[in-house]
């Protein structure tokens, strides 16, 4: 039994991968054996799609229709095609990993911010170009896109990003309108964010982002990043928020699951296994009871050694299901057993 088969009656099991994984045959074999979905950790973010060299060299030519590059995305699309694994597209609009020049007149960060009309045209042409490329060359491979990532700040209000400065909160509606216009009908459109079980943030997202988009039939799903700690969030709070999002009738994807844990002792890795099992129990309960239509759960990175958390938390993290030589950890056995028993 493997993860994707154990959970196949309920939801896809995915993983975020990097070029390092893609260039390592053992890592590719592990992805193919255990997962039926993957996400590019970085290579489909705006900074990689927007061709800096070309836009900056010919700003007039590309003023409203930015030059795009698919150089970093293509190897992942090829791997998906070859191995028959579906992909989550991540991410069309984000405040981070998006070049500042993109928001300025003449693609020049020293000039004023571009006008509302210019930014709407750039946004539409960018979304159109990206979707067209993947849907023409790799039809059916990307089953969901994170259209907007992290539009809510830590004050639980709209994040004051450059998108927000220029277009106000309707940058979100515009992005989903263009995504809906150009996405194949079978592609699901998602809003994705972190700390989504925090009560105020959950309410803000539901009332100010999801409900207005649902009223216009522009959104299909809510993405819960789920970068968890060993003692946060409380599982019952996480469950309550999951059910609140689920009650809207949207699909739910757990998009970036990991659990920061800096203690590799057997006792600590046992607690990690227990906590993973606790969260997968929540996912299965919600799915089976109909309280949340979870259709995909993605781990953020393949092995402990690949985890972004070590850099972000500034201490070595052991947050995942595999380690080193693609060796399964106790957490792998715990998650697998739960799924296999639920089939
Ligand atoms: C956020 C983003 C991801 C990734 C992680 C950190 O959660 O959505 O793309 O950058 O941060 O790796």
Q: How much distance in Å is there from the Cα of 31 to the middle of ligand 1? A: 20
Q: How much distance in Å is there from the Cα of 134 to the middle of ligand 1? A: 22
- 92 contacts 145 by C-beta, under 8 angstroms: yes
Ligand 1 atom closest to residue 227's alpha carbon, by position in its atom list: 7
Does 19 fall in a domain?
Answer: yes
Ligand 1 atom closest to residue 192's alpha carbon, by position in its atom list: 8
- 162 contacts 122 by C-beta, under 8 angstroms: no
Residues 6 or more apart from 132 whose CB is under 8 A from it? 182
Q: Does residue 308 line the site of ligand 1, with CB under 6 A?
A: yes
Residue to probe by mutation, ligand 1, list 254, 256, 258, 302, most atoms within 8 Å of CB:
256
Name the E strands within 217-340. 221-224, 227-229, 251-260, 293-299, 322-323, 327-328
Q: How much distance in Å is there from the Cα of 149 to the middle of ligand 1? A: 9
pLDDT value, residue 326 = 98
Does 238 fall in a domain?
Answer: yes
- 197 contacts 240 by C-beta, under 8 angstroms: yes
Residue bearing the CA closest to ligand 1, atom 3:
41
Does 146 fall in a domain?
Answer: yes
Ligand 1 atom closest to residue 149's alpha carbon, by position in its atom list: 8
User: How far, in whole angstroms, is CA 27 from its chain's centroid?
Assistant: 20
Q: Does residue 256 line the site of ligand 1, with CB under 6 A?
A: yes
Does 63 fall in a domain?
Answer: no
Tell me the CATH number at 237: 3.20.20.80
Nearest to 102 by CA among 56, 44, 146: 56
Q: What is the DSSP letter of 169?
A: T
- Bridge-based pairing of strands 327-328 and 322-323 is antiparallel
pLDDT value, residue 307 = 98
Residue to probe by mutation, ligand 1, list 16, 159, 228, 300, most atoms within 8 Å of CB:
300
Q: What's the domain count of the chain? A: 1
Residues with a catalytic annotation lie at 150, 256
Does 262 fall in a domain?
Answer: yes
Q: Does residue 190 line the site of ligand 1, with CB under 6 A?
A: no
Does 191 fall in a domain?
Answer: yes
Q: How many CA atoms, within 13 angstroms, populate the side-chain half-sphere of residue 139?
A: 3
Does 50 fall in a domain?
Answer: no
Q: What is the domain range of residue 280? A: 3-43+74-97+113-342
pLDDT value, residue 41 = 98
Nearest to 92 by CA among 17, 180, 169: 180
Q: Does residue 220 line the site of ligand 1, with CB under 6 A?
A: no
- 138 contacts 80 by C-beta, under 8 angstroms: yes
Walk along the chain (343 residues) and give the pLDDT tens digit of each residue. Answer: 999 999 999 999 999 999 999 999 999 999 999 999 999 999 999 999 999 999 999 999 999 999 999 999 999 999 999 999 999 999 999 999 999 999 999 999 999 999 999 999 999 999 999 999 999 999 999 999 999 999 999 999 999 999 999 999 999 999 999 999 999 999 999 999 999 999 999 999 999 999 999 999 999 999 999 999 999 999 999 999 999 999 999 999 999 999 999 999 999 999 999 999 999 999 999 999 999 999 999 999 999 999 999 999 999 999 999 999 999 999 999 999 999 999 8
């Amino acid at each position: 039994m493997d993860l994707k088969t154990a959970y196949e009656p309920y939801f896809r099991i995915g993983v975020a991968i990097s070029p390092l994984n893609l260039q390592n045959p053992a890592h590719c074999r592990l992805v193919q054996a255990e997962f039926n979905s993957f996400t590019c950790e970085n290579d489909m973010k705006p900074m990689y799609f927007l061709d800096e060299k070309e836009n900056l060299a010919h700003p007039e030519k590309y003023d409203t229709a930015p030059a795009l590059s698919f150089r970093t995305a293509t190897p992942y699309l090829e791997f998906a095609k070859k191995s028959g694994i579906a992909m989550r597209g991540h991410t069309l609009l984000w405040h981070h990993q998006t070049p500042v020049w993109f928001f300025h007149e003449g693609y020049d960060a020293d000039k004023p911010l571009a006008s509302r009309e210019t930014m709407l045209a750039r946004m539409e042409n960018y979304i159109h170009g990206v979707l067209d490329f993947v849907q023409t060359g790799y039809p059916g491979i990307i089953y969901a896109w994170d259209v907007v990532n992290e539009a809510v700040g830590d004050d639980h209000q709209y994040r004051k990003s450059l998108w927000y400065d220029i277009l106000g909160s309707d940058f979100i509606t515009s992005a989903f309108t263009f995504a809906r216009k150009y996405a194949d009908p079978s592609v699901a459109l998602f809003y994705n964010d972190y700390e989504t079980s925090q009560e105020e943030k959950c309410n803000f997202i539901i009332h100010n982002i999801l409900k207005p988009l649902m009223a216009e039939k522009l959104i299909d799903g809510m993405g819960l990043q789920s970068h968890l700690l060993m003692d946060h969030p409380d599982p019952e709070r996480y469950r309550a928020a999951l059910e609140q999002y689920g009650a809207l009738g949207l699909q739910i994807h757990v998009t970036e699951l990991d659990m920061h844990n800096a203690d590799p002792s057997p006792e600590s890795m046992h607690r990690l296994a227990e906590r993973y099992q606790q969260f997968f129990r929540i996912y299965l309960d919600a799915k089976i009871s109909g309280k949340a239509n979870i259709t995909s759960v993605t781990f953020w990175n393949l092995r402990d050694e690949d985890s972004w958390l070590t850099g972000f938390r500034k201490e070595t993290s052991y947050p995942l299901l595999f380690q080193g030589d693609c060796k399964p950890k106790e957490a792998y056995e715990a998650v697998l057993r739960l799924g296999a028993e639920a089939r």
